[in-house]
Amino acid sequence: MDRGATQLGTRSQPGLLHEALLADGDETFVAQVAAFFRAGLEEGPTVAVLSRRHWALLREELGADAERVSYTDCDDFYIRPIDALASYDATLRRHTANATSVRVAGEIPLGPTRSGWADWIAYEAILNRAFADRPAHVLCVYDTRTAPDPVINAVWRTHPHVAAGADDTGPRYHPPHDVVAEFTPSPRSDLPLRALALTDDATAFREALSAELAAAGASRAQVLNMLVAALEVFENAIRHGGGPCALRAGLVDGWFVCEIEDSGSGLDDPLAGYVPPTPGKSGGEGLWIARRLVSRLELIPADPGLTVRLWL
């Protein structure tokens, strides 16, 4: 269906082109995404991270060209935002190792819950910073018939370019910091946590933490994940925060929670730990590692300083 004004963008500068397609149905989806891929096939690698149903439709449209597109099932790719960022990072690095540009079309399985939608809205904002310097044209596809209103509204704020047929009057792009801050749930206060013996010795901290985890009945895999994650945060507190000033742990609604507080200069970046580290370049990957290993990581201003809260 041709609304006349649905035009996809072209990369005119070396870095990321992050674009959204608001499709009003399968016909628009197939026509636009096929055109997106065809335009890219001569330039370099093309990657589809789509539902199997959409890929089946697209394959029919692309015919023989479909074999030149790499496909991954979106349900396996978009697990949590941090996992999708890691997968995207790996995908982009792999495909740009021998090419100067790559095209990716992706659709996010939003899932049935509102908290899930908020996570993915924040994810879209993060993409803008995480991959700003990658030579990629990323097309995020949304189906306006089925995607929830809050998600569609946010698309305009998280994508510098939106291809949406004749209706081009939505609110405009916002900086990632603001969007992520808005869609990060406020941390709960006054959690019933127990204080751990204050120490700046990493081994003593690990022993105390693992005792708490064992008492909570955590599985081996969970214990190791939490130990590695908490160690990163602990070492950050020493390196950047003047050493921890409080250590807490306990069970909250069946979750195991650990908090590490310092009274250093604090951290006002809701995207901290979401930008994939550069391979071979060390420094600054502690929060990324921690986010990968635990269910949720919260950065809470301690005034002064910072509390990092890890949810297992």
Partner 1 sequence: MVSLDGGAPVLAATGDVSFLGCVIAADVSTAIDVIGGEDAVYGVEDRQARRAGTHLDLAGGSGRQTVAESVNDDFEVVVDSTAGQETLLRITIGKHYDFVVALPSGEPDATTRALTSARERQLVMAAAAGDSEAYAELVNAFLPAIARVARLYRGVARVERAELLQEGVVGLLRAIRRFDPSLGTPFWPYATWWVRQAMQQLVAELGRPAVLSDRAQRSLARIREARRAHVQTYGREPSSSELAALVELSHEHVESLLAVERASQPLPTRVGDDAGGFQTAEVALVDPVAEEEYERVLSRLEIEAVRDLTNTLTGREREIVFKHYGLKGPPQTLREIGEELGISAERVRQIEERTLKKLRAATLKLPE
Site residues for partner 1, window 270-299 (CB under 8 A)? 277, 279, 285, 288-289, 292-293, 295-296
> Does residue 312 belong to the site contacting partner 1 (CB under 8 A)?
yes
CB closer to partner 1 out of 5 and 211: 211
> Does residue 201 belong to the site contacting partner 1 (CB under 8 A)?
no
CB of 310 to partner 1, least distance (A): 12
Residue ranges of the alpha helices (H) in the chain?
26-41, 52-62, 74-77, 81-96, 114-130, 149-158, 176-183, 202-215, 220-241, 286-293
CB closer to partner 1 out of 240 and 296: 296
CB closer to partner 1 out of 129 and 296: 296
CB of 115 to partner 1, least distance (A): 6
Q: How far is CA 281 from the centre of its chain?
A: 21
Stretch that binds partner 1, among 32-40, 156-164, 176-184, 211-219 (CB under 8 A): 211-219
If phi > 0 it is left, if psi is from -120 to 50 it is alpha, else beta; for residue 266 that is left
For residue 260, give the nearest of 223, 292, 231, 221 by alpha carbon. 231
CB of 12 to partner 1, least distance (A): 28
Name the amino acid, one letter, at 108.
Answer: I
Dihedral Cα 107, 177, 132, 65, nearest 10 deg: 10
Q: Which of residues 93-122 bind partner 1 (CB under 8 A)?
A: 109, 111-116
> Does residue 73 belong to the site contacting partner 1 (CB under 8 A)?
yes
CB closer to partner 1 out of 24 and 242: 24
CB closer to partner 1 out of 160 and 239: 239
Residue reference for tokens 């099932």? 73
For residue 203, CA distances in Å to 132, 161, 199, 206, 278 come to 38, 49, 9, 5, 28
Q: Among 2, 190, 220, 303, which residue sits at the site for partner 1 (rule: CB under 8 A)?
A: 220
CB of 60 to partner 1, least distance (A): 6
CA distance 26 to 47: 19
Size of the site for partner 1 (CB under 8 A): 71
Per-residue string for binding with partner 1, 6-25, x by CB under 8 A?
A: --------------------
Residues sharing a CB contact under 8 Å with residue 95, sequence separation 6 or more, in sequence order: 44, 45, 47, 70, 102
Q: Which of residues 235-274 bind partner 1 (CB under 8 A)?
A: 253-255
CA distance 102 to 134: 9
